[in-house]
Amino acid sequence: MLKDRNILLIIGGGIAAFRALELIRRLKEQGAGVRCILTEGGAEFITALSVAGLSGEKVFTDLFSLTDEAEMGHIRLSREADLVVVAPATANLMARMVAGVADDLATTALLASDKPVMVCPSMNVEMWEKPSTQRNVAALEADGIICIGPDSGSLACGEEGAGRLADIDLIVAEITALIGTGARPLAGLKALVTAGPTLEAIDPVRFIANRSSGKQGYAIAEALGRLGAATTLVSGPTALRVPRHVTRVDVTSARDMLAAVEDALPVDVAVCVAAVSDWRPETPAGSKIKKNSGAPPALKLVENPDILAALSAPSNNRPQLVVGFAAETENLVEQAQAKLASKGCDWIIANDVSPDARGEVVFGADENSIHLITADKVEAWERARKSVIADRLAHRIADALTRKAG
Interface contacts to ligand C5P, rule CB under 6 A: 194, 254, 272-274, 276, 304, 306-308, 324-326, 339
End-to-end CA distance of the chain: 21
- 36 assigned to active site: no
Distance CA 148, CA 363 (A): 23
Nearer to ligand C5P, 106 or 223 (CB): 223
Q: What share of the chain is helix, strand, coil (3-state, %, to 5)?
A: 35, 25, 40
* Rounded least distance, CB 189 to ligand C5P, Å: 20
Nearer to ligand C5P, 150 or 197 (CB): 197
CA dihedral 244, 249, 250, 256 (to 10 degrees): -150
Q: Alpha helices of 211-268 — where are they, by DSSP H?
A: 215-226, 254-264
Nearer to ligand C5P, 246 or 308 (CB): 308
DSSP E strand boundaries for 90-140: 117-121
CA-closest candidate to residue 106, choices 70, 152, 160, 60: 60
Nearer to ligand C5P, 192 or 246 (CB): 192
Going by their DSSP bridges, the two strands 33-38 and 6-11 should be labelled as parallel
* Rounded least distance, CB 275 to ligand C5P, Å: 7
* 269 to 98, 320, 386, 398: CA distances (angstroms): 39, 6, 20, 10
* Rounded least distance, CB 378 to ligand C5P, Å: 17
In this structure, what are the phi and psi dihedrals at residue 83, rounded to the nearest 5 degrees? -155, 140
Nearer to ligand C5P, 172 or 195 (CB): 195
Going by their DSSP bridges, the two strands 117-121 and 146-147 should be labelled as parallel
Catalytic site residue from 120, 147, 157, 272: 157
* Rounded least distance, CB 328 to ligand C5P, Å: 8
* Rounded least distance, CB 355 to ligand C5P, Å: 19
* Catalytic machinery residues: 157
